[in-house]
Amino acid sequence: MLILVDQDGVLADFHAGFERAWRAAGHAIPAIPLERRKSFSLRDDYPAEWRAAVVETFTREGFFRDLPPIPGAAHALREMLAQGHEVAICTSPLLEYQHCVSEKYAWIERHLGADFIPRVVLTRDKTLVHGDVLIDDKPVIDGLRTPDWRHILYDQPYNRTVAGPRLTWADWREKLGLG
Active site residues: 6, 8
- Evaluate whether 153 touches 6 at the Cβ level (below 8 Å): no
Residue 55 lies near a copy of itself (rule: CB under 8 A): no
Residue 115 CB: number of other CB atoms within 10 A?
Answer: 10
Name which position in 44, 56, 61, 86 contacts a copy of itself (CB under 8 A): 86
Q: Assess contact for 138 and 40: CB atoms under 8 A.
A: yes
Minimal distance, residue 81 CB to a copy of itself, in Å: 13
Judged by beta carbon, residue 3 or residue 31, the one nearer a copy of itself is 3
Give the range of 39-47, 57-65, 87-95, 156-164 binding a copy of itself by CB under 8 A: 87-95
Is residue 134 a contact residue for a copy of itself (CB under 8 A)? Answer: no
Among 15, 37, 99, 166, indicate the residue that binds a copy of itself (CB under 8 A).
Answer: 99
Whether the CA torsion 22, 24, 30, 33 is positive or negative: it is positive
117 binds a copy of itself (CB under 8 A): yes
Rounded Cα distance, 37 and 15, in Å: 9
CA neighbours closer than 13 Å in the CB half-sphere of residue 128: 10
Q: Is 102 in the site for a copy of itself (CB under 8 A)?
A: yes
